[in-house]
Amino acid sequence: MAFKPSDTTAMTINGHTVAVKTNRCLAKYVGKGDCYEANFNLMLQLDADDIECVLCHGILTAAPFYQHMKPGTQFLHAWVEAKHPKMGWTIADNSLGELTFNTSDMFYDVMTPKAVVKMLPKQAAFHAARWQRYSQWFLHPAHSKEWIK
């Protein structure tokens, strides 16, 4: 199954395309759970459909348009970077019960990720099996709870 740009809607904020929501083409990928579980499962599904992807764990800064917390708040998060046939690398996030995806440029410019660890599906599956959970794999020193002050 390939991504289809015609199956999306988008809005533009400060020159960036954001909050691109799927309506049909990726509906089968919509999952439940926190960002770590939901995006781990999204990565596995995309990989099974031969869509090149990586699972990312990192620290984000909530953007002004982010609806779930105060802008500027830093938080640990997981997301998936997937290769779109026409848009290149995009950011897919399956948390909060809906699947959204954005351009890689918008995501990195607006959410300013730091301490990012990117994992191929086999690497992420290894860590999930090793730790028997979807998060807190301690792959980067900044991912400990001590970074929250």
What band does 7 get if pLDDT is binned at 50, 70 and 90? very low
Sequence-ordered list of residues with C-beta below 8 angstroms from that of 144, at least 6 positions apart, any chain: 138
Q: Residue 92 pairs with which residues in a beta bridge?
A: 80, 101
**Interval 56-114: pLDDT, tens:** 999 999 888 777 788 898 888 999 999 987 778 889 888 876 677 788 888 888 889 99
Pair 40, 120: CB distance under 8 Å = no
Record the pTM: 0.76
The whole-angstrom separation of Cα 117 and Cα 137 is: 11
**Interval 111-134: pLDDT, tens:** 899 999 999 999 999 999 988 888
Q: Would you list the domain boundaries of the chain? A: 5-138
What integer pLDDT is reported at residue 106 of this predicted model?
Answer: 83
